[in-house]
Amino acid sequence: MTYRTIAAACAGELQVSRSRFLAELRRVETEEQARSVIAEVRAAHRDARHHCSAFVLGPDAQLQRSNDDGEPSGTAGTPILAALNGSQLSDVVAVVTRWFGGTLLGTGGLTRAYGGAVDAALRHARFVIREEREAVDLAVPHADAGRVEAELRARGVDVTGTDYAEVATLHLTTADPGDLDAHIAALTSGTAVGIRKGPRWHDVRS
């Protein structure tokens, strides 16, 4: 299973009838983190009238929330959320800060402005695909660690780190644990066995 998110924070803005709309997108993994970002943006722009937001969380994008923050119902949070869903993103929060320019935009104008601000930020975004992979620890003698690591990387296994103690422990992730077991057996002449640590989500490609 895979899903798409942003690689790093990004921002974009537009002006409509002298109102300024600044969209800020951050990568998050929990509702608590998302709400913390919203509070942080609000504190950073205390002079603005509205800080409207939406976030999408989880591999299935199952948790979705939006907030109009005083704008007419459905004119801010909903189009922000629609922009995130339109880009098929999850684990992301978007906050659009509005500085009022003195001209009322109407419901249609607000909807276009809030969604458009997020679209502007997304044009500056880098995206990554996250994949659920099995985490595996492999203990090998120090003398063999470099060779085994290089061979595993050549076979597409992700080596996320190495701990050196009495033996070298390679921390691996793989989409095919059975195939990894076969590689380990071949590379170590059957003297080492990978210990499965359970599934983990990893950024695998842009």
pLDDT, tens digit (0-9, with 9 covering 90-100), for 156-186:
898 999 999 999 999 999 989 999 999 999 9
Please say which residue of 109, 125, 141 terminates a domain. 125
Same domain, 69 and 6: yes
- The CATH code of the domain that includes 118 is 3.30.230.30
Structural domain span for residue 191 = 131-205
pLDDT at residue 31 tops 80? yes
Same domain, 97 and 184: no
Task: Calculate mean pLDDT across residues 128-144.
Answer: 94
Same domain, 97 and 52: yes
Q: How many domains does the chain have?
A: 2
Same domain, 144 and 104: no
Please say which residue of 70, 101, 125 terminates a domain. 125
Same domain, 108 and 158: no
Q: How far apart are CA 89 and CA 27, in angstroms?
A: 10
Please say which residue of 125, 151, 166 terminates a domain. 125
CB 152 within 8 A of CB 182: no
- Of 14-18, 39-43, 64-68, 102-106, the range with the lowest mean pLDDT is 102-106
Question: Is residue 91 left, alpha or beta, with left meaning phi > 0 and alpha meaning psi from -120 to 50?
Answer: left
Same domain, 201 and 173: yes
pTM: 0.83
CB 6 within 8 A of CB 119: no
Task: Give the amino acid at 151.
Answer: E
Question: Is residue 88 left, alpha or beta, with left meaning phi > 0 and alpha meaning psi from -120 to 50?
Answer: left
Task: Calculate mean pLDDT across residues 24-50.
Answer: 98
Q: How far apart are CA 150 and CA 147, in angstroms?
A: 5
Same domain, 137 and 115: no
Q: How far apart are CA 63 and CA 91, in angstroms?
A: 9
Q: Which tokens is 160 given?
A: 């996320």
Q: Which tokens is 145 given?
A: 């660690």
Q: How far apart are CA 49 and CA 110, in angstroms?
A: 14
Same domain, 139 and 98: no
CB 114 within 8 A of CB 33: no
Helix (H) or strand (E) holding 31: helix 31-44
Same domain, 187 and 93: no
Same domain, 105 and 166: no
CB 77 within 8 A of CB 84: no
Same domain, 117 and 182: no
Same domain, 149 and 111: no
